């Protein structure tokens, strides 16, 4: 009896996942209220109708009281946990007693984290995020929702069966000799060779690591790479497990005597050094808001909803990278949700090589973030009542952004609709803010700050989420080069794979956590 729902303020379902028991229960409830002889509508219509009163009440409380509830329990002991992220309402439900409020709250935060990793700064625009989470094309929506549902189910399975996800940590396999050899191998034979090849299509390998099930055998980052945060690494492990699920019963090579391999040590937890945080960046994160208008989804859009449950998602192609958006900390500052390519190369069932690469156009994402940050700060100061020169104080100032944004738009060129829209909105913003006849820096400029942020997120989406450009231009590491890396690691670990698969199954720390272990992650919403 479990459910997780993401809805807009207009009660439009942007994503839903239910287990069979919850789906059957809600269909029976809806069917009891139907007249005899009437068939059940599509399940998405049913769940939207059933949850509409909750969504409406949340919106009403926020509008009238400036506050809302975060959880409640019904008379039949169903627990509902709710969290509003800008204009998206996340609702997690449990009716079988297997999950408490904190479990449901963690599930919501993990789902939000996975969406940020998959969609990046598009999540900073409610309009664009709604379009991404709920594509008009039914088959596209089915594939996307199936993928998100798979990630959620993978996380739930790992949390129930893997102690590292129970405490939200990265667990490391310790074998001093092998770990040291693998790290050196990743550096000299994998990262350096890939980065020096002409077949890498401009991509640069920043991080490479080997997973045995969910445990980290070896991790190497290039010298100019940012620290990979723990929450990002956990999200990547979930994605790798979703692509190539570990069946520990089948992956177990048998009753070999794993103790015969010398030099092994006890399992331990490992947390990569967290990236420095910038309090001003998080405090001034771009925010969104608009007047909620309640409306049911057009029934014409729902005509093919019944087919959502039957459409199959094809198995992943190892040579096709996944676009992921991760936090990057540089000397210039902290940049959240920067685009990377994730290559997940299976070595054997249960053992995987993962490569994270920097893509050639990542500088565009950094520019977009700096512009978004500037307009968010300006919007915040205007909303607080600052006007004129008082509103433009801060770093960077809107005057600094003006010349840089002019150059940025010029470099994009007006060849496509999105660039032209950004150019038009920016021209109108400048007329209102900088010209003598305009209102200047007053509250009247707030809608135009919001509009600029939406247009910038649109450019980001076009550059990093839409597969565009000439098909004859390679935009990823060549399959031949990937296969070469895969083969080299297989040869390196051939004599060790059985030992590693057995060792990774040991769950000793599930019994008692050592007092001297590294404190991995505080159970805080920002962790995942």
DSSP assignment of 489-521: HHHHHTTTHHHHHHHHH--GGGT---TTS----
More confident call, 59 vs 104: 104
Instruction: Report in angstroms the alpha-carbon separations of 351 from 157, 267, 311.
Output: 18, 17, 29
- Ramachandran region, residue 120 (left: φ > 0; alpha: ψ -120 to 50; beta: rest): left
**pLDDT of 284 over the 60 cut:** no
pLDDT at 528: 67
- Rounded percentage of the chain residues whose pLDDT exceeds 90: 58
Radius of gyration of the chain (CA): 25
**pLDDT of 346 over the 90 cut:** yes
**pLDDT of 318 over the 80 cut:** no
**pLDDT of 410 over the 70 cut:** yes
Cβ atoms of residues 215 and 164 within 8 Å:
yes
Residue 480, SS3?
helix
More confident call, 435 vs 484: 484
pLDDT band at 429; cut points 50, 70, 90: very high
Query: CA nearest 218: which of 266, 270, 260?
Result: 270
Residue 208 pairs in a beta bridge with: 220, 355
Instruction: Report in angstroms the alpha-carbon separations of 341 from 146, 204, 218, 352, 356.
Output: 21, 10, 19, 16, 6
Average pLDDT, the chain: 82
pLDDT at 415: 63
Tell me the range of 308-317, 425-434, 449-458 where mean pLDDT is highest.
449-458
**pLDDT of 517 over the 80 cut:** no
Q: How many Å apart are CA 32 and CA 42, to the nearest integer? A: 16
**pLDDT of 317 over the 60 cut:** yes
pLDDT at 503: 86
Cβ atoms of residues 193 and 293 within 8 Å:
no
Q: Among the listed ranges 161-175, 179-193, 379-393, which one has the minimum average pLDDT value?
A: 379-393
Q: Among the listed ranges 18-22, 239-243, 466-470, which one has the minimum average pLDDT value?
A: 466-470
pLDDT band at 303; cut points 50, 70, 90: very low
pLDDT at 310: 43
**pLDDT of 189 over the 60 cut:** yes
Structure tokens given for 246: 């570990």
φ, ψ at 497 (rounded to 5°): -60, -40
More confident call, 288 vs 528: 528
């Amino acid at each position: 009896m479990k459910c997780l729902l993401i809805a807009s303020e207009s009660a439009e379902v942007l994503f839903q996942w239910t287990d069979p028991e919850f789906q059957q229960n809600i269909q029976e409830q809806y069917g009891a209220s139907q007249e005899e002889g009437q068939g059940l509508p599509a399940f998405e219509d049913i769940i939207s109708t059933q949850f509409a009163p909750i969504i409406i009440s949340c919106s009403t409380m926020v509008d009238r009281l400036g506050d809302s509830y975060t959880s409640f329990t019904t008379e039949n002991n169903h627990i509902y946990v709710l969290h509003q992220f800008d204009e998206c309402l996340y609702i997690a439900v449990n009716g079988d007693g297997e999950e408490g409020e904190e479990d449901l709250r963690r599930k919501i935060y993990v789902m939000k984290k996975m969406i940020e990793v998959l969609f990046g700064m598009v999540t900073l625009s409610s309009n664009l995020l709604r379009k991404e989470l709920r594509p008009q094309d039914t088959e596209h929506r089915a594939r996307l929702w199936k993928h998100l549902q798979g990630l959620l189910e993978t996380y739930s399975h790992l949390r129930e069966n893997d102690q590292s996800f129970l405490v939200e940590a990265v667990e490391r396999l310790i074998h001093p000799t092998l770990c040291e050899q693998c790290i050196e191998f990743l550096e000299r034979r994998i990262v350096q060779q890939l980065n020096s090849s002409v077949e890498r299509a401009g991509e640069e390998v920043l991080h490479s690591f080997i997973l045995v099930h969910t445990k980290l055998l070896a991790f190497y980052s290039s010298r100019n790479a940012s620290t990979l945060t723990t929450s990002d690494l956990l999200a990547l492990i979930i994605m790798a497990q979703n692509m190539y699920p570990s069946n520990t019963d089948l992956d177990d090579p048998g009753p070999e005597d794993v103790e015969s391999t010398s030099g092994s040590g006890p399992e331990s937890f490992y947390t990569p050094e967290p990236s420095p945080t910038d309090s001003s960046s998080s405090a001034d994160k771009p925010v969104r808001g608009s007047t909620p208008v309640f409306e049911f989804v057009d029934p014409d859009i729902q005509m093919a909803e019944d087919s959502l449950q039957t459409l199959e998602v094809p198995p992943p192609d190892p040579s096709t990278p996944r676009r992921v958006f991760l936090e990057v900390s540089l000397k210039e500052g902290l940049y959240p949700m920067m685009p990377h390519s994730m290559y997940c190369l299976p070595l054997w069932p249960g053992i995987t090589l993962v490569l994270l690469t920097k893509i050639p156009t990542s500088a565009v994402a950094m520019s977009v973030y700096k512009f978004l940050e500037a307009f968010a700060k300006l919007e915040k100061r205007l909303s607080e009542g600052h006007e004129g020169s008082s509103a433009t104080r801060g770093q960077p100032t809107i005057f600094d952004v003006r010349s840089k944004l002019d150059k940025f738009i010029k470099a994009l060129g007006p060849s496509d609709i999105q660039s032209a829209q950004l150019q038009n909105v920016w021209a109108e913003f400048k007329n209102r803010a900088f010209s003598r006849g305009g209102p200047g820096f007053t509250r009247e400029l707030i809608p135009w700050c919001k509009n600029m942020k939406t247009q910038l997120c649109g450019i980001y989406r076009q550059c990093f989420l839409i597969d565009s450009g000439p098909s004859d231009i390679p935009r990823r590491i060549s399959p031949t080069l990937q296969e070469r890396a895969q083969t080299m690691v297989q040869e390196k670990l051939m004599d060790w794979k059985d030992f590693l698969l057995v060792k990774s199954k040991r769950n000793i720390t599930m019994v008692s956590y050592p007092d001297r272990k590294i404190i991995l992650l505080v159970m805080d919403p920002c962790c995942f």
